[in-house]
Amino acid sequence: MFLLDFINLAGNFTKYFEVVPALTPELKNEVYHIRHAVYCEELGFESPRQDGMETDEYDAQSLHVLLRNVNNGDWVGCVRLVLARADDPQQPLPFEKYCASSLDRRIVDPAKLPRERVAEVSRLAVLARYRKRKGEQRTPVAISDRDFGTPEQPRFPYIPVGLYLGMIDLAQRHGLEHLFVLTEPRLARHLAALGVKIRRIGEGVDHRGHRVPSTMNVSGIIRGLSFFVRPLYETISAQVAQGVVGQQA
Dist. CA 31–CA 22, nearest whole Å:
8
The tens digit of pLDDT for each residue in 142-189 reads 544 454 443 334 457 889 899 999 999 999 999 999 999 988 777 766
Q: What are the chain's domains?
A: 3-248 (3.40.630.30)
Segment holding 80, helix H or strand E: strand 75-83
Average pLDDT, the chain: 86
Residue 80: the pLDDT is 97
Distance of CA 90 to the CA centre of its chain: 23
For CA atoms 113, 117, 119, 121, the dihedral sign is negative
Residue 96: the pLDDT is 93
Dist. CA 36–CA 34, nearest whole Å:
5
The tens digit of pLDDT for each residue in 14-31 reads 999 999 999 999 999 999
- Confidence check: pLDDT of 136 > 70: no
Residue 134: the pLDDT is 44
The tens digit of pLDDT for each residue in 192-228 reads 766 778 899 988 777 676 788 999 999 999 998 888 8
Q: Which of 42, 210, 2 is nearest to 131 (CA)?
A: 42
